[in-house]
Amino acid sequence: MKPVNVGICGLGTVGGGTFNVLKRNADEIARRAGREIRVSHVGMRQTKEGFDFDGCTISNDIFAVARDPDVDVVCEMIGGYDTAFELVMTAIENGKHVVTANKALIAERGNEIFAAAKAKSVMVVYEAAVAGGIPIIKAVREGFAGNKVNWLAGIINGTGNFILTEMRDKGRSFEDVLKEAQELGYAEADPTFDVEGIDACHKLTILSSIAFGTPLAFDKAYTEGISRITAQDVTYAEELGYRIKHLGISKRTDKGIELRVHPTLIPETRLLANVDGVMNAVVVHGDAVGPTLHYGAGAGAEPTASAVVADIVDVVRALELNDVQRVPPLAFHTQQTDIDILPIDQIESAYYLRLEVEDRAGVMADIARILGEQDISMEAIIQKEPQEIGGEVSVILLTRKVLESSLNQAIADIEALSSTLGKITRIRVETLKD
Amino acid sequence: MKPVNVGICGLGTVGGGTFNVLKRNADEIARRAGREIRVSHVGMRQTKEGFDFDGCTISNDIFAVARDPDVDVVCEMIGGYDTAFELVMTAIENGKHVVTANKALIAERGNEIFAAAKAKSVMVVYEAAVAGGIPIIKAVREGFAGNKVNWLAGIINGTGNFILTEMRDKGRSFEDVLKEAQELGYAEADPTFDVEGIDACHKLTILSSIAFGTPLAFDKAYTEGISRITAQDVTYAEELGYRIKHLGISKRTDKGIELRVHPTLIPETRLLANVDGVMNAVVVHGDAVGPTLHYGAGAGAEPTASAVVADIVDVVRALELNDVQRVPPLAFHTQQTDIDILPIDQIESAYYLRLEVEDRAGVMADIARILGEQDISMEAIIQKEPQEIGGEVSVILLTRKVLESSLNQAIADIEALSSTLGKITRIRVETLKD
C-alpha cells in the first residue's frame, strides 16, 4: 500500500515533536498501522533549522499544506484561535482529515468544526488537546463506552500543579513560585491562561462533553484560578489531612451537569493528591467500572507528539472506510441537549473556610448561629491562637456538603459581623469517593 | 439499523455483570455505538434466577449460542481452558466475533486463536482479560501507537495486592491474611493461581506482546509468588523507603525482552507503591510519552463487564467493515520474531537481600569480599542487633544493579560461609524510573 502523507502546519514544540517522533519511530509505527506514515509537507512561517526535511515539501504558507492534493492528514500545530480555525476549516473543505492539539479551538469552536467534518466525511481528532500524552480521550470515548459516567476530576494544567506542589513542599508563596516557573519556561510571561484556569477549563469542557454526551459548553463553565491561594491555606489543609489541587471537575447530577475549575481540597490519601510537579492525572468514575485514574505528562514536545501520532494512526486505520465517523468526535452519535450546565451557586460541595476574627467571647457562637440558619454542619474546626493578647484569631472551618448559594449567604452574614476582619477565604472540598 | 445480537456463554460473575450492564445502560450504549445492542441468546449449564431474560433465548448448551445464526457477537464468559478454547474456535468457525475475559486462554492459546480469527475475518477482543475495568489493552495498542515502549510494570492481581497491603498495614503474616482473603471471597480455595503469580503472568504475557510486537510467550516467562514474603521483610523494606508489591514487569533491552512476575521492592514515593487493596494499576513507559499510570478495579462483575461492553461496542463499530483487523489483535501487523525472552538469570536488577549470620567479628568482611568478587556494589546495609549476646544478627543489603547470574553466585558463596545461618531471602528492587 502507498504511504500515508502527513502535512504538519507549525513546527513549534508540538509540531516539531510530532515531526521527530514520526521520523524516529517510523518502522515501529508502520508495523502497528499497517502502512508507512511519512511527513510529506511542512508549513511554517519561517523555515526552522535542525530538522531532517529530506523528501519533504516546505511551504512558508501553512494554507498550502491544507490545500496540497497529496496530503491525506493535516496536523494543525500552530495553536491560537482565528488562523487555526481558518486552517482547520480549509483542510476540511479540501477533504483532509485533521489532527489538532488545540484545546482552545476544540472547546470554543468544536461544535462548528465537527459539523463541518461530518458534512465532508472527514475525521477531526484531538487526543493531544487534553492531558498531553495520556490517552484520556480514547479511554472516555471508547474504553468506557459501557458506562454511564458519574463524574470526572483532573489535574489538567501542569503549570498550576507545579506551583501548588512547590508551595506545599517548600512553604513558598504563589508569587515566588510563579516567578521561578516563568524562568524555567513552565509558565508563560502572561500566565493568565494557566493560573486562572482557562486552559484547564478548555480541557474540562471537552472531557465533560465526551463523558456525558452533551454539546461543548465552554461559555457555561465556572473558572477560578489559584492566584489567591496562600501558603497558610496549604498548611492548614495539610493539618486537616488534605492537599490543595487545581482541579477540573464535571459531574452528572439530577439537576444538571456541574462544570467547574477551581482550587480544591482533596484527602491526602487519594492517588490524585499525590500527583505532583508538572504531571497530569484524570480520575473518571463510571457506574460499572467505578473509579479509574489516568496519569502521565500533560505537556511537552514528545508526550504531546505521542498523542498526535496515535491520532494519525487512528485516522490511517479509518482511511479506507466509507464512514469515518464510526467513533463520533464527541463520543455520542446523538447528543443530549435537554440537560443544563448548573450555575456555580447551584452546585453542592463541602467547603474549607478561613476567616480572621477578633479574639473575644461570643464570636464563635455568632458564627455557629449563622451556619445553623443555613443548615450547614461542620466536619472540623480549627482555631489558631492569636500572636498577641487581644490580637486576631484565624478560624478554619470544614463544612459538610451544602448548596453553594446557602454557603454564599452564610459567608455574607459572617462577613457582616463586626467581629469578622476582612474577607473569608473559601476553597471547595471534594472527597472523590462515590 | 437493526439491533446487534449478543450471545453470552456463561452467566457467572463476568457473564452476569455483562448481561446487567448491557440491559441497564442500553440507551447510553446505543447513543455511543450508533446501534442498539441487545442480548439475544444466553447459554448456561443451569438456568439462573434473578435476571430479566425477556426477549432472550436460553440454552443449556453453550455451543448452541456459538452456532446461533442470529448471533453477531459471542461472549465467552465460562473461563478455564479446554471448553473455552473449543467454544471460541466454534464461534470463529461460525463467523462470529468473539469477546472474552479469559486471560489464561489468550496468554496460552492466543497465537492459534488469532490466526483462526484472521482466516475467518472476525475479531477476537479481550480488554477484560487484563486489569479488569482499566482500558489498558486499548491504551497500549492504540493510545501509544506512536511510541517505542521501553517497559511496563503492573499490579495485575488484586488478591495478591490485598494480601501485601494487609501485611504492611497491620503487620500480619501471609498465611493469616490469605485465610481472611479466602473468607472474604477475594481468594479461591486453591489460591495457587493468584498468590504464585500465574494469573498475573497470563496478563503480563499479553501486555508484553502488544507493547513490543512479539508473539505471546507465556511458557518463557519467569514467575515467583508472594508466599515466602514475611512480615519482617515488609518492615525492613519500609525502613529503607520501599514497599513490596507483586509486579509483572516486561522490559525491552539490547539483549532481549524481560518477562517476569515476582515480589518487588519499589520506592514508596511512586504512585504505584500507593495502589492498595484489591486495586490494579499498570505503568507503561514509552519513548515519547514517558511514564504513564493506569489505575482501576482489576476484577469484579461490573468493572470487568465495563471492559467487555467496550469491546462489544468496538466490534459493533467494525461490523460493516471488510477488514475487521485494522487494529490487529496483538497490536502489530507484523510481529518481531527474532527477539528473545531472556532467561531470568540474564536480567539486570537491584536486589534486597536478608540473611541471618552469627554475631562475630569478620562476618561482614567475608560478605563484602564475596560481593566484591562479583562486582556487586551496595546501596544500603542495615544490621539488626541480636536479641541476646552471641545470638544471630539479621543483615539487610540493598545492592545496585547487577546481572542476576552474578548475584546468584554471590548468594551461593555467602550461603556456603559457616557464619551464614540458613537460606538468604532475595527480593528484586525496581526504581521504576527511566
Tens of pLDDT, residue by residue over B344-383, are: 999 999 999 999 999 888 999 999 999 999 999 999 999 9
Give the number of other CB atoms < 10 A from CB of residue A54.
Answer: 6
Flag whether residue A25 sits within 8 Å of chain B, measured between CB atoms: yes
CB-CB under 8 Å, A323 with B320 = yes
DSSP B341: B
pLDDT score, position A391: 80
pLDDT score, position A210: 97
B148 contact residues in A (CB cutoff 8 A): 25, 28
Distance CA A321, CA A42 (A): 26
Q: DSSP for B182-211?
A: HHHTSS-SS-HHHHTTHHHHHHHHHHHHHH
B307 contact residues in A (CB cutoff 8 A): 143, 146, 289
Specify the pTM: 0.96
Residue in A closest to B28 by C-alpha: A148
Do B129 and B147 fall within a single domain?
Answer: no
Predicted confidence (pLDDT) per residue in A73-87, tens digit = 999 999 999 999 999
Do A19 and A160 fall within a single domain?
Answer: no
Distance CA A277, CA B330 (A): 35
**Domain range spanning residue B176?**
136-297
- Domain membership flag for residue A203: yes
Sole residue written with cell 490485598: B162
Gap from B291 CA to chain A (nearest CA, Å): 6
Distance CA A345, CA A184 (A): 37
CB-CB under 8 Å, A145 with B309 = yes
**Interface predicted TM-score (ipTM) of this complex, two decimals:** 0.95
A98-121 mean pLDDT? 96
| Start-end of H helices in B68-139 | 82-93, 103-119, 136-138
- Domain membership flag for residue B390: yes
Q: Does the pLDDT of residue B310 top 90, yes or no? A: yes
A118 contact residues in B (CB cutoff 8 A): none
CB-CB under 8 Å, B291 with A34 = no
B157-171 mean pLDDT? 96
Do A23 and A68 fall within a single domain?
Answer: yes
Average pLDDT of the residues of chain B: 95
pLDDT score, position B326: 77
- Domain membership flag for residue A11: yes
- Domain membership flag for residue B219: yes
Name the residue among A147, A303, A326 with its Cβ closest to that of B289.
Answer: A303
Q: Which three cell numbers stand for residue A184?
A: 524555567
Distance CA B382, CA B390 (A): 18
Do A178 and A285 fall within a single domain?
Answer: yes
A vs B, Cβ pairs < 8 A, gives: 213
Residues counted in chain B: 434
Do B21 and B152 fall within a single domain?
Answer: no
pLDDT score, position A309: 98
pLDDT score, position A167: 96
CB-CB under 8 Å, A127 with B334 = no
B310 contact residues in A (CB cutoff 8 A): 142-146
- Domain membership flag for residue A162: yes
- Domain membership flag for residue A328: no
* Helix axis angle, B174-184 to B158-170, nearest 10°: 130
Q: Which helix (H) or strand (E) holds A304?
A: helix A301-318
B199-208 mean pLDDT? 98
CB-CB under 8 Å, B305 with A144 = no
Do A116 and A195 fall within a single domain?
Answer: no
Name the residue among B142, B146, B293 with its Cβ closest to that of A305.
Answer: B146
B221-230 mean pLDDT? 97
Q: How many structural domains are present in chain B?
A: 3
Q: DSSP for A249-269?
A: EEEE-SS-EEEEEEEEEEETT
pLDDT score, position B322: 62
Flag whether residue A309 sits within 8 Å of chain B, measured between CB atoms: yes
pLDDT score, position B324: 66
Amino acid at A361: A
Which CATH number covers residue A413?
3.30.70.260
Binned at pLDDT 50, 70 and 90, residue A126 comes out as very high
Name the residue among A28, A275, A292 with its Cβ closest to that of B133.
Answer: A292
Q: Which of residues 276-295 of B touch A (CB under 8 A)?
A: 281, 286-295
Distance CA B169, CA A103 (A): 43
Do A55 and A127 fall within a single domain?
Answer: yes
- Domain membership flag for residue A59: yes
Nearest residue to B36 (alpha-carbon basis) of B4, B73, B72? B4
CB-CB under 8 Å, B32 with A213 = yes
- Domain membership flag for residue B340: no
CB-CB under 8 Å, A313 with B142 = yes
Do B94 and B35 fall within a single domain?
Answer: yes
A135 contact residues in B (CB cutoff 8 A): 138-139, 142-144
Q: Which are the catalytic amino acids of B?
A: 203
Flag whether residue A49 sits within 8 Å of chain B, measured between CB atoms: no
Binned at pLDDT 50, 70 and 90, residue A27 comes out as very high
Distance CA A133, CA B144 (A): 8
Binned at pLDDT 50, 70 and 90, residue B311 comes out as very high
- Could you tell me if A217 and A205 are in contact, meaning their C-beta atoms sit under 8 angstroms apart? yes
Distance CA B292, CA B143 (A): 11
Gap from A13 CA to chain B (nearest CA, Å): 13
In angstroms, the Cα distances linking A175 to A182, A186, A228, A234 are 11, 14, 10, 14
CB-CB under 8 Å, B295 with A271 = yes
A317 contact residues in B (CB cutoff 8 A): 326-327
- Who contacts B197 (Cβ-Cβ below 8 Å, separation ≥6)? B157, B160, B223, B224, B225, B226, B246, B248, B261, B262
CB-CB under 8 Å, A313 with B145 = yes
Q: Which residue has the higher pLDDT, A189 or A15?
A: A15
- Among A44-48, A233-237, B74-78, B183-187, the range scoring the smallest mean pLDDT is B183-187
Q: Identify the residue among B147, B149, B314, B434 best suited for mutation to test binding to A, counting A beta carbons within 10 A and taking the highest.
A: B147
Do A245 and A311 fall within a single domain?
Answer: no
Q: How many CA atoms lie within 13 A of B99 on its CB side?
A: 29
Flag whether residue B139 sits within 8 Å of chain A, measured between CB atoms: yes
DSSP B22: H
Q: Does the pLDDT of residue A229 top 90, yes or no? A: yes
pLDDT score, position A323: 63
Q: Identify the residue among A8, A13, A35, A142 best suited for mutation to test binding to B, counting B beta carbons within 10 A and taking the highest.
A: A142
Residue in B closest to A36 by C-alpha: B333
CB-CB under 8 Å, A213 with B146 = no
Which CATH number covers residue B200?
3.30.360.10
pLDDT score, position B323: 63
B145 contact residues in A (CB cutoff 8 A): 29, 32-33, 309-310, 313-314
Flag whether residue B380 sits within 8 Å of chain A, measured between CB atoms: no
Predicted confidence (pLDDT) per residue in B104-147, tens digit = 999 999 999 999 999 999 999 999 999 999 999 999 999 999 99
pLDDT score, position A324: 66
Which CATH number covers residue A67?
3.40.50.720
pLDDT score, position B415: 97
Residue in A closest to B301 by C-alpha: A288
Name the residue among B25, B144, B317 with its Cβ closest to that of A327.
Answer: B317
CB-CB under 8 Å, B288 with A305 = yes
Do B192 and B312 fall within a single domain?
Answer: no
Q: Indicate left, alpha or beta for A427 from its phi (over 0: left) and psi (-120 to 50: alpha).
A: beta
Predicted confidence (pLDDT) per residue in B15-56, tens digit = 999 999 999 999 999 999 999 999 999 999 999 999 999 999
pLDDT score, position A337: 87
Q: DSSP for A136-193?
A: HHHIIIIITTTS-EEEEEEE--HHHHHHHHHHHHH---HHHHHHHHHHHTSS-SS-HH
- Could you tell me if B62 and B71 are in contact, meaning their C-beta atoms sit under 8 angstroms apart? no
Gap from A80 CA to chain B (nearest CA, Å): 24
The number of helices, as runs of H, and strands, as runs of E, in chain A is: 14, 17
3-state secondary structure of B278: coil
Do B141 and B126 fall within a single domain?
Answer: no
CB-CB under 8 Å, A145 with B33 = yes
Do A120 and A159 fall within a single domain?
Answer: no
Distance CA A222, CA B79 (A): 48
User: Where does residue A238 rank: exposed (0-12), middle (13-18), buried (19+ CB within 10 A)?
Assistant: middle
Q: Which are the catalytic amino acids of A?
A: 203
CB-CB under 8 Å, B323 with A323 = no
Q: Does the pLDDT of residue A298 top 80, yes or no? A: yes
- Who contacts B199 (Cβ-Cβ below 8 Å, separation ≥6)? B103, B104, B156, B157, B193
The C-alpha angle with vertex B38 and arms to B36 and B39, in degrees rounded to 5, equals 170
